[in-house]
Amino acid sequence: MRRLLKFAGILAVVYALLVIGLYSVMRQPPQVFGTVMRYVPKVAFFILPFEPLWLHARAGHLKVGDIAPDFSLHTVDKKSVVQLSSQRGEKPVVLVFGSYT
């Protein structure tokens, strides 16, 4: 019984360290996160709480009504650059992320 408790304790500590390590990697820039995730075995996705960790790690600090952070993007034809702050106050701006085709 004592060995079983010791084994369970060690397993709990290892699990906690893996969760903490995964969370800290999720808070890194996408390049670092992608490099680390390349080596994570598929079975880890079933064992570790990826979704709750990801949602917390990438939640951000914006609230409803906050001004969006400024950024610039190339137009679809790549001929010019549009900056979000230059559009402020002119007309509503809608940001679409992902594929719509």
- The pLDDT score that the predictor gives to residue 46 is 92
The strand pairing partners of 73, in sequence order, are: 82
Q: Whole-angstrom Cα distance, residue 28 to residue 34?
A: 10
Sign, CA dihedral 59-60-63-68, equals negative
Element (H, E) at 82: strand 81-83
Q: ∠ CA 30-47-25 to the nearest 5 degrees?
A: 20
Residue pair 54/24 in contact (Cβ under 8 Å)? The answer is: no
Element (H, E) at 83: strand 81-83
pTM value surpassing 0.75: no
Query: Average pLDDT per run of 10 along the chain, which is 101 residues long?
Result: 94 96 93 92 92 90 84 90 86 75 61
- The pLDDT score that the predictor gives to residue 101 is 61
Domain boundaries, the chain: 2-57
- The pLDDT score that the predictor gives to residue 98 is 73
- The pLDDT score that the predictor gives to residue 99 is 67
